[in-house]
Amino acid sequence: MATNISRRYVIIGNGIAGTTCAQMLRKNDVACEIDLITNEPYPLYNRVSLPRFLQGVLTEEKVMIRNRAWHEQQRINLLTETLVARIDAEDHVVHTDKGQALRYDALLVATGGWANPLRVPGAAGTKHIYNFVTLDDTKEIIARANESKSAVAVGGSFIAYEMAEGLNVRGLHVTWLIRGPRWLRYNLDEEGGSLVDGIARKHNVDIIYGEEIREVIPANGVPASVVTTGGRQIAADMIGVGLGLTLNTQVLAGTGVETRSGIITDEYLATNIPDIFSAGDVAEFYDPILGRHHTMGTWDNAAAHGRVVAQNMAGGHEPYVDVPTYTSPLFNTTIAFIGSPEANNPDLTSIARTTTDDKGNPAYRKFFFKDDQIVGAIFIGGTKGRKTTGKLIKANTRYVAPAEKEALFTVE
């Protein structure tokens, strides 16, 4: 009898991790039942394309990856605008805010993270202060940018940079506040930071380091200016906030699933509670290359997690062993992260060098080692050599002599 009962899968989060998992589950099992749940109103869209949508380079249509017809054809039950409120791990049931109780044989939590808001005096109740994570965020930013002249972007990581550039491309005067001494201070050293600084200034973005927003000064419910922790007053019709994500682990409250900043999994993306798995940005997964748990907020990592976790939810035993890469445009150049380039990790050593690429633009490379084994790299400018570097990391290649390490600067 039991063999005639199809397996039931529930997936929370229809980002690239969740949707890829659903697709793979269907590919491997024509009979299974799949519920794919999201609180957002859209089928899968490309978050990586949102900066280009903000700049006006891409249309909304081009940002969409899947439509409802695809889900119907794949027999994936897509539940949009539906928030998972609670999971009953003992009875294997997911409860939504719409009163549904969805039974599962295996559950995937691929819930990503929600952006941290700006919490300073004057921010609460003031309109036009934006995070930049969702398609709806982007539409709202574009609408306001079209009626604005000036903006302040705050944050030392990718999201703040993407907003600074997007609003700059839309013709606003942008001031970018970075709390630390440079952009991406946990990855870049002084040399890499000053290279990025030069690129941003060339594009007429004003950057102020070592300062944050102390207060928003509103007028009639919209921003008029911001006051920085250094006491400057800067005019701003809108404010872009890139202050990091809080990973969405709270949905697991009461289940006994172990969480830290993310959801703890082993290298099979399984949590400590039977039949509950995690993938994508929210997973704090065991990485056999580094020999420890970590999170990885990149598109390729989330997609690869989705493929592997689908096998394991269906009873497989496939470890996730991959070298994640993150490549992003950076004004008129490119930045690429390969593996785990963590400048603040005391267990890693590094070497860095700035040269020029074949177009004469500055090119920066930095390689990270753990006990002489290459574990990560950053390339700014020419990204040639990225793939080879990824292969060297995956192969656990060791470089003992300094000259061997130096030779990496010429890898193609």
- The footprint of ligand FAD (CB under 6 A) covers 12-13, 15-18, 37-40, 47-48, 50-51, 83-84, 110-112, 132-133, 159, 162, 248, 251, 280-281, 297-300, 302, 326, 328
Measured distance CA(351)–CA(367) in Å, rounded:
6
Q: How far is the CB of 187 from ligand FAD (least distance, A)?
A: 14
Q: Which residues pair with 351 in a beta bridge?
A: 367
**Residues 6 or more apart from 231 whose CB is under 8 A from it?**
none
**DSSP string over 57-109:** SS-HHHHB---HHHHHHHTEEEE-S--EEEEETTTTEEEETTS-EEE-SEEEE
- Our CB check for ligand FAD shows the closer of 299 and 367 to be 299
279 closest CA partner among 324, 243, 237: 324
Torsion-angle region of residue 210: left (phi > 0), alpha (psi -120 to 50) or beta?
A: left
**Residues 6 or more apart from 52 whose CB is under 8 A from it?**
58
How far is CA 367 from its chain centroid? Answer: 22
Q: Half-sphere exposure (CA, 13 Å, Cβ side) for 246? A: 5
- Our CB check for ligand FAD shows the closer of 234 and 239 to be 239
- Our CB check for ligand FAD shows the closer of 96 and 225 to be 96
- Our CB check for ligand FAD shows the closer of 162 and 287 to be 162
- Our CB check for ligand FAD shows the closer of 337 and 399 to be 337
How far is CA 185 from its chain centroid? Answer: 17
Q: How far is the CB of 80 from ligand FAD (least distance, A)?
A: 9
Measured distance CA(405)–CA(108) in Å, rounded:
41
- Our CB check for ligand FAD shows the closer of 36 and 234 to be 36
- Our CB check for ligand FAD shows the closer of 328 and 354 to be 328
Measured distance CA(280)–CA(286) in Å, rounded:
13
Q: How far is the CB of 162 from ligand FAD (least distance, A)?
A: 5
How far is CA 46 from its chain centroid? Answer: 12
326 closest CA partner among 147, 162, 141: 162
Contact 208, 200 (CB under 8 A): no
- Our CB check for ligand FAD shows the closer of 47 and 92 to be 47
Measured distance CA(263)–CA(259) in Å, rounded:
4
Q: How far is the CB of 334 from ligand FAD (least distance, A)?
A: 10
43 closest CA partner among 86, 76, 83, 85: 76
Q: How far is the CB of 397 from ligand FAD (least distance, A)?
A: 24
Q: How far is the CB of 52 from ligand FAD (least distance, A)?
A: 10
- Our CB check for ligand FAD shows the closer of 103 and 405 to be 103
Q: How far is the CB of 233 from ligand FAD (least distance, A)?
A: 28
- Our CB check for ligand FAD shows the closer of 98 and 359 to be 98
In three-state secondary structure terms, 369 is strand
Max distance between CA atoms of the chain, in angstroms, equals 73
Residues 344/176/117/19 CA torsion (nearest 10 deg): -70
Q: How far is the CB of 190 from ligand FAD (least distance, A)?
A: 24
Measured distance CA(197)–CA(202) in Å, rounded:
9
Contact 339, 131 (CB under 8 A): no
Q: How far is the CB of 169 from ligand FAD (least distance, A)?
A: 14
Q: Which residues pair with 56 in a beta bridge?
A: none
Q: How far is the CB of 141 from ligand FAD (least distance, A)?
A: 10
How far is CA 396 from its chain centroid? Answer: 25
Q: How far is the CB of 380 from ligand FAD (least distance, A)?
A: 14
- Our CB check for ligand FAD shows the closer of 111 and 126 to be 111
